[in-house]
Amino acid sequence: MKTHPQGLLLCVLFFITFGLLHLVEAGQEGFISLDCGLSASEPPYFDSTTGLTYTTDNGFVQSGKTSRIDKEMESTYNKPILQLRYFPEGVRNCYTLNVTLGTKYLIRASFVYGNYDGLNKELEFDLYLGPNLWANVNTSMYLTNGVTTEEIIHSTKSKVLQVCLIKTGTSIPIINSLDLRPLINDTYNTQSGSLKYLFRNYFSTSRRIIRYPNDVNDRHWYPFFDEDVWTELTTNLIVNSSNVYHPPQSVMASAATPISKNAPFNFSWSLIPSTAKLYMYMHFAEIQTLQANDTRQLDVLLNGINFYTGFRPKTLATSTIFSTIPDTCEGGKCTVELLKTSKSTLPPLCSALEVFTVIDFLGLETNQDDVFAIKNIQNTYGVSKINWQGDPCVPKQFIWDGLNCNNSDISTPPIITSLDLSNNNLTGGVPEFLASIKSLLVINLSGNNLTGSVPQILLQKKGLTLNLEGNIYLNCPDGSCVHEDGNGGAKKKNVVVLVVVSIALVVVLGTALALFLVFRKRKTPHSEGPPSSSTQTQVSDARTTRSSDPIIVNKNRRFTYSEVVKMTNNFEKILGKGGFGMVYHGTVNDTEQVAVKMLSPSSSQGYKEFKAEVELLLRVHHKNLVGLVGYCDEGENLSLIYEYMANGDLKEHMLGNQGGSILDWKTRLKIVAESAQGLEYLHNGCKPPMVHRDVKTTNILLDEHFQAKLADFGLSRSFPIEGETRVDTVVAGTPGYLDPEYYRTNWLNEKSDVYSFGIVLLEIITNQPVINQSREKPHIAEWVGVMLTKGDIKSIIDPKFSGDYDAGSVWRAVELAMSCVNPSSIGRPTMSQVVIELNECLASENSRKGISQNMESKGSIRSTEVSMNFGTEYTPEAR
């Protein structure tokens, strides 16, 4: 058999090339790389410079046109920058990307104007992520050969991510490329919000931009070097960079160190806006061969304040120091300084620095079930409205044509309440899935060319107004739409006339009855006289004990005392006792279980608290607030009738007094996340806003499904009053949970609740008493702070967890709790931020696949504000 060496060589080269391509593509799992100017007919291409595979953006966006930058500029760029998509129509144009829920992504969009239209002008437009503003894109400084890049690290809240370009003036928005890169969820953690890229520098005299495949996450590392004050260290040896942040080997193989042995290493930058919060990540490795007596130890300072002390870089291994709570820089001027310690013989060094600012995305996306249904409608009918892109309901200025939405409760996702697609030449049938939009109250499909029968599920849906008039080929029940023979119109007209006449008759009769009653009242001689003696005695007694407090005038849900006695079977079964009085089990209508709280004559809480709680619960409704079934206000007999919470309060379960097993970490996290949602609703969903003033574990109740609901609103107060941001009030609350700033100043605001909630968080993490005189620090917040300073994380986590928890979610909860109990209210997060953070913790815990990470002490820290990551370990203790 004859062989052909050249042919054999070609085969070998083919298989090697194919194998390498396969390996590279395998490393891109989860990557989305879009060339936004690539024609739909062009296949994906392999970028030989980066090893990335780019595809057309067709199918990810439903609008826009493609073009190419000016030929004179083509030599300056490579794909995918050579081509672009521009959006001459509509105000909002959006990319829709399928993502993994609860996953952290690096999202990067690149823009090069490149004089594609020959007009040589400046461009300015907005970039949105879902319903929230991400950045203002301005290409004025990049008219010739620059690339405008916007990058963010963001955790997804749904399975769909939308990147939208918004026209803000006369400029036509453009985009050249869009990249998504999944990250390890336990990296780049924030107290709240997402991380907006500011810069990512590695310290080297090289001019090379390092990215994929050297960086497995395709982060872009830009070289920077101050030759006047620094000298460069390099190594040809392998640096172990496999810690959780995994900076590239080529980044860690170089470092900068001061020329003068005793000089500090300084690096400065500016923040825009100057008040922005920041997170920074510093990467170190000892790449110099040290002599026997050489030591390198350094302190890290940010604007003169200790950030980390006594740090020693590891030999040929990457260490990462990063902040776990955001920092700020006075006046927006930031300087990080590395100082040689007294124990060090060598000056400090650093390999790389990443800095991000915090961007809070507080706008919630529309209810995902509603979004799915409305997208289904769009696909079924082929609706091609230019503004049917992005989120259907938010922001309000971009709500889809023909929709009405309800987003009055900012603590819950917006919902779609009406759909108007009348006179749109729609064809086909009326789909059943319209009924799946549970919040939909009105559907108007009149004036179209629909055919077939109307689904019974739509006709039978309670509370739904369905308008199908004018669809002459649609088979409808009599009177519900126009029939082919035309009689339906006459029938409908007759029905309308009858309805109008009926309404008019009711109005006339109602007016006559009102006039009669007024006339009768004026003629009755005793109508202005005193009430009956029994009634007068009752009111007089009440006023005696309640000072000048007015009686509650709302008659809804009001029970008599005899009804209370009957519903509790003469107060037979006691559920518990609180500051208000005894709580009894009862039933309403012999079916609905309730909890009846009776005001004790010796109670420290009086009629003011009773009245406050009734009036609050009569006007607020939320799934995470205990519902008020009714109340009794009869003389000295005051009682509140709540929905029954079968599993009692959180405190009892923490102590193990409810029987069964102690709550695990996931369940506790779910309970506090739900409690936070209730509290956030009081702060932001109520008009006027409310401060609870008594948040604690005994006021978090659990129903039969362990859904948490906040209870006991007797101390709650409305705020602000007449535009104030805080209220001067007599201090009230529970010792240990009470905000020290509020106690000291008497000034109440919503951050007082945040402090109390932070104490609750520390309780569920530690299962320790809030006050314990036998501890080194009696108060739980001070004790946890001391333990963290010592790096002793194991001592604060409830040992009953038995290691069954996600280390990252516990750490984030600890960090969140410590930020909530900040002595200064200004430094505390809002409850909206708390809700977001807890939901992310819960998502992290839910995504865990039975793997718990060890938590061991790794050295000294700056009061929970700094984290470190060594080698291949992820060690929360070092934060």
State the binding site: 597
Neighbours of 753 (CB within 10 A): 29
Reduce the DSSP state of residue 611 to 3 states and report it.
helix
Residue 273, CB half-sphere, CA atoms under 13 Å: how many?
A: 5
* Cα–Cα distance for residue pair 35/26, rounded to 1 Å: 20
Choose among 95, 260, 90, 232: nearest CA to 175: 95
Choose among 377, 347, 489, 519: nearest CA to 440: 377
* Cα–Cα distance for residue pair 470/511, rounded to 1 Å: 37
CA distances from 560 to 98, 607, 640, 712 (A): 57, 17, 12, 22
- The single residue listed with the structure tokens 């080698």 is 871
Choose among 295, 318, 300, 296: nearest CA to 235: 318
634 DSSP β-pair partners: 637
**H or E segment and range at residue 55:** strand 53-56
Active-site entry in 694, 712, 753, 798: 694
Choose among 134, 85, 90: nearest CA to 112: 85
* Cα–Cα distance for residue pair 488/482, rounded to 1 Å: 5
Q: Which two tokens stand for residue 652?
A: 């009892």
Sign of dihedral through CA atoms 867, 871, 877, 878? negative
* Cα–Cα distance for residue pair 651/672, rounded to 1 Å: 12
* Cα–Cα distance for residue pair 857/862, rounded to 1 Å: 14
* Cα–Cα distance for residue pair 355/226, rounded to 1 Å: 18
CA distances from 549 to 460, 535, 597, 668, 718 (A): 49, 18, 20, 40, 17
Choose among 239, 345, 235: nearest CA to 296: 345
Amino acid occupying residue 441 = L
Q: Which two tokens stand for residue 7?
A: 């042919």
* Cα–Cα distance for residue pair 581/11, rounded to 1 Å: 87
Tell me the backbone φ, ψ of residue 114, rounded to 5 degrees.
Answer: 60, 20
* Cα–Cα distance for residue pair 37/604, rounded to 1 Å: 71
Whether the Cβ atoms of residue 265 and residue 352 lie closer than 8 Å to each other: no
Choose among 791, 771, 790, 792: nearest CA to 780: 771
Annotated binding residues for ATP, written as ranges, equal: 597
Name the DSSP letter for residue 535.
Answer: H
Assess whether 70 carries a catalytic annotation: no
Tell me the backbone φ, ψ of residue 870, rounded to 5 degrees.
Answer: -110, 135
Q: How far is CA 21 from the centre of its chain?
A: 38
Whether the Cβ atoms of residue 115 and residue 70 lie closer than 8 Å to each other: yes
* Cα–Cα distance for residue pair 56/51, rounded to 1 Å: 17
* Cα–Cα distance for residue pair 335/93, rounded to 1 Å: 40
Gap between the terminal Cα atoms of the chain:
68
- Helices 665-680 and 750-766 sit at what angle, rounded to 10 degrees? 170
Q: Which two tokens stand for residue 808?
A: 């990252």
Q: Which two tokens stand for residue 32?
A: 């989305």
* Cα–Cα distance for residue pair 618/608, rounded to 1 Å: 15
222 DSSP β-pair partners: 201
Q: Which two tokens stand for residue 210?
A: 């390092």
Tell me the backbone φ, ψ of residue 866, rounded to 5 degrees.
Answer: -130, 140
* Cα–Cα distance for residue pair 821/809, rounded to 1 Å: 18
Could you give the residue numbers annotated as active site? 694
